C-alpha cells in the first residue's frame, strides 16, 4: 500500500518547502505496516467522499490535506480541511506526518 499526504495552506505556509509525504507499507517493518494498514481500514478510506465540506469565507489560513491511497488496483484521493473532526482520519494524518523524513 502506498499513501501520499500533501498539506496546503495554514499560517506561514511556504509551497516550495512543503513536499508531500509518501509512505509505502512495503518499506516498513511488518508490525508497523500492519498498524498502518489497520489505520487505513479504520477510516473506511475507499468509502469516503472525495472532498470534505467547503471552506468558509475568510478561511484562507486553513490547512488542507490531500491524501491518496493506492492499494493494488484501487486508488482514491480524499481532500480534507482543518479541523479534521474524524478521529481516525486525524490519526492517519498524524501517522503520515510522523513519517516525514523517515
Higher pLDDT, 57 or 41: 41
Could you give the percent of the chain with pLDDT greater than 90? Answer: 62
Query: Structural domain boundaries of the chain?
Result: 2-98
Taking residues 2-17, report their average pLDDT. Answer: 75
The pLDDT confidence band at residue 76, using thresholds 50, 70 and 90, is very high
- Tell me how far apart the alpha carbons of residues 50 and 64 are, in angstroms, rounded to a whole number: 13
pLDDT in tens, 26-51: 999 999 999 999 999 999 999 999 98
Amino acid at each position: 500500500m502506498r499513501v501520499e499526504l500533501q498539506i496546503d495552506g495554514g499560517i506561514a505556509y511556504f509551497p516550495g518547502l512543503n513536499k508531500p509525504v509518501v509512505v509505502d507499507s512495503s518499506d516498513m517493518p511488518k508490525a508497523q505496516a500492519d498498524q498502518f494498514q489497520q489505520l487505513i481500514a479504520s477510516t473506511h478510506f475507499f468509502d469516503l467522499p472525495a472532498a470534505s465540506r467547503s471552506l468558509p469565507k475568510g478561511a484562507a489560513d486553513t490547512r488542507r490535506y490531500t491524501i491518496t491511497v493506492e492499494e493494488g488496483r484501487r486508488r482514491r484521493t480524499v481532500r480534507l480541511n482543518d479541523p479534521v473532526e474524524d478521529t481516525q482520519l486525524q490519526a492517519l494524518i498524524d501517522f503520515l506526518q510522523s513519517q516525514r523524513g523517515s
